[in-house]
Structure 1
Amino acid sequence: MTELLPDSLLERIRSRAAGFDRKNEFFDDDLTELIDAGYLTAFVPRDLDGPGLTLIDVSRLQRRLASAAPATALAINMHLIWTGVARQLHDRGDSSLDFVLSGAAQGEIYAFGISEAGNDLVLVGSNSEARPDGEGGYSFYGTKIFTSLAPVWTVLGTMGLDSTSDDAPKVVYGFVRREDGGFTIKDDWDTVGMRATQSRTTVLEGAHASADAVVRRLAPGPNPDPLIFGISSNFQLLVASVYTGLAERALELAIDAAAKRTSKQNNNAPYSDDPVLRWRIADAWIALDAIPSQIERTASDIAEGVDHGSLWFPKLSAVKVRATETARSVVDQAIAVAGGGSYFSRSELGRLYRDVLAGMFHPSNSDAAHKAAANGLLGPIADD
């Protein structure tokens, strides 16, 4: 597994992260080296000549990558989510996304064109249009936000609502190719953190998915379809992995700062002897230590086909929310330990502080996760 992300490559990626952030540039150099290392084929199964890594394996790699460059890891996540979904379906005998795995093996870069402003239905409803072409294909119209990998994707997985077919409405999932056009990418990514992802707005203006690239037509609303479960499970667990890796790096930096800083009040003793800072570091470690095992236990349950029934989606959301909120807490503690130097933009901890804030914006957010858990445990409210 480490051959896909050796120490030497990780350190080169780490050395570039600050520059990409400062200049608000895409991580082209990182991507080139990750492609050369075979990183983007991680989920491709052995029977399709790939490494055949599991969701647990990829989670560990993404934590490792995020510890060096969170924005690079988060953007790569979107490619890995699609290939992870395809792998999950493949392992269950569903070949409908095998072309995604074959494409990844041949160098395709997949992006995630799902999120829409104001659409809290996320996967089971859409503000975008999916217009049938009469031959089984669809053209998509609408605005997608947070489209990571915007400068380089070759294939965009997206969705929209078919409201005109005889069996409408249907939420249509399909894949459109960059070379076929039918879209505009705005140069509008100027954010507080996660800047190198270049997750620009994509306006779909008739981007076309041929019949063989249309993978689902689903009734709007909650749906047990394996594609929906696959997207949710890979998205939530891999996002959780990225922010966990970020937090692990913040804790490393806090420990290093405590060892290097000294206190004049205490005869130049290192801050690592200060009981308050020791408590802060211990508190951060105690909170963070539980997260990787929760991610991996959930991934193992997916692989083993454990039936959590109506609590499956709440469990996935809970892991993501717990991981991102824990990461924010850990970074806060790390900054308190490191002191005022972390407030400068040149500080790695300062950058991690900005990057970790993005965790609250990925679905599911805390409010949605609590609602899903309550519905799973108590049943939905009659009016829902």
Structure 2
Amino acid sequence: MSDRRNQLVALAAALAADFATRAGEHDRANSFPVENVDKMKAAGYTALVIPEKYGGLSADLEDFALCQEQLAQGCAATTIAINMHLFGIGSMVERATGRPQDELFFDAIARGRQILGGGISEPETGGDWGYFATRARRDGETYVLNGRKTFTSLSPVIDLFMVMTTIEGSNPPAAGTFV
């Protein structure tokens, strides 16, 4: 393994060791491990997949998998929850085009230590990611969103809530993302 990868895995291992001290209690109490998310934010782990130029740790897909595997040794629930944030961010990093909006968004996540989450899938979609049951209707200069989501990973600690929608009145139908 490269020195960089070893450093990232060591970070995940250190976090896992700390999380392990509380994992059983959170399982028994059915409580959300807010302190684990706070520790990941402080360590920069919540920006694991964001490029360094935006304040992230620049993990590639293999780094990400190895780190998550290590983190799960301490608290599987925390690992699956942060996976939802990191997977979404990683997808955005892959599609980034260098627009100023990309820089602002990645900066908020990495340097601002923000958690992204939200209504990205819905029961009505049935796995068809082309159209979303949540609708966005233009109302002057703003949009009105209407839909429902029954479960959202990380909801107690989300800083930036993202919702995927179908834009009403668009022809052909278009998907929209609102943060």
TM-score by length of 1: 0.41
Looking at structure 2, the residues matched to 117 and 71 of structure 1 have their Cα atoms a distance apart, in angstroms, of 22
* SS of corresponding position for 1:147: coil
1:55 counterpart (48, 58, 61): 61
User: Which amino acid letter does the alignment assign opposite residue 21 of structure 2?
Assistant: S
Looking at structure 1, the residues matched to 172 and 140 of structure 2 have their Cα atoms a distance apart, in angstroms, of 14
- Match for residue 66 of structure 1? 72
* SS of corresponding position for 1:143: coil
- Match for residue 138 of structure 2? 132
- Match for residue 187 of structure 1? none
Distance verdict in 2 for CA 1:78–1:139, change over 3 Å: farther
Looking at structure 1, the residues matched to 139 and 32 of structure 2 have their Cα atoms a distance apart, in angstroms, of 35
User: Which amino acid letter does the alignment assign opposite residue 176 of structure 2?
Assistant: V
* SS of corresponding position for 2:35: helix
- Match for residue 34 of structure 2? 28
Q: In terms of mean alpha carbon deviation, does 103-112 or 116-125 score higher?
A: 116-125
- Match for residue 173 of structure 1? 177
Deviations 1:254-290 (A, max 9, x none): xxxxxxxxxxxxxxxxxxxxxxxxxxxxxxxxxxxxx
Which structure has the higher relative contact order (CA within 8 Å, separation 6+)? 2
2:105 counterpart (86, 93, 100): 100
* SS of corresponding position for 1:40: helix
CA contact (8 A) 2:9 2:70 kept: no
User: Which amino acid letter does the alignment assign opposite residue 170 of structure 1?
Assistant: A
Question: Once the 2 structures are TM-superposed, how far is the Cα of residue 3 of structure 1 from its aligned partner?
Answer: 4.8
Looking at structure 1, the residues matched to 21 and 134 of structure 2 have their Cα atoms a distance apart, in angstroms, of 40
CA contact (8 A) 1:114 1:122 kept: no
Q: How does 1:355-370 map to 2 (within 5 A)?
A: none
- Match for residue 12 of structure 1? 18
User: Which amino acid letter does the alignment assign opposite residue 120 of structure 1?
Assistant: G
1:153 counterpart (111, 134, 158): 158
TM-score by length of 2: 0.84
Give 1 or 2 for the bigger CA radius of gyration: 1
Distance verdict in 2 for CA 1:12–1:33, change over 3 Å: same
CA contact (8 A) 1:86 1:98 kept: no
Deviations 1:95-146 (A, max 9, x none): 35443311112121101312212321442111111112443x5332111132
Question: Once the 2 structures are TM-superposed, how far is the Cα of residue 88 of structure 1 from its aligned partner?
Answer: 0.9
Q: How does 1:306-321 map to 2 (within 5 A)?
A: none
Distance verdict in 2 for CA 1:98–1:141, change over 3 Å: farther
- Match for residue 148 of structure 2? 143
Looking at structure 1, the residues matched to 105 and 61 of structure 2 have their Cα atoms a distance apart, in angstroms, of 16
Deviations 1:360-384 (A, max 9, x none): xxxxxxxxxxxxxxxxxxxxxxxxx
User: Which amino acid letter does the alignment assign opposite residue 172 of structure 1?
Assistant: G
Q: How does 1:34-53 map to 2 (within 5 A)?
A: 34-53=40-59
Count of residues in Structure 1 that have an aligned counterpart in Structure 2: 170
- Percent of aligned pairs with the same residue? 29
Looking at structure 1, the residues matched to 73 and 95 of structure 2 have their Cα atoms a distance apart, in angstroms, of 29
Looking at structure 1, the residues matched to 55 and 159 of structure 2 have their Cα atoms a distance apart, in angstroms, of 21
Structure 2: which 5+ residue stretches go unaligned? 1-7
Structure with the largest fraction of helix? 1
**Would you identify which runs of 4 or more consecutive aligned residues in structure 1 move more than 3 Å?**
93-99
CA contact (8 A) 2:16 2:72 kept: no
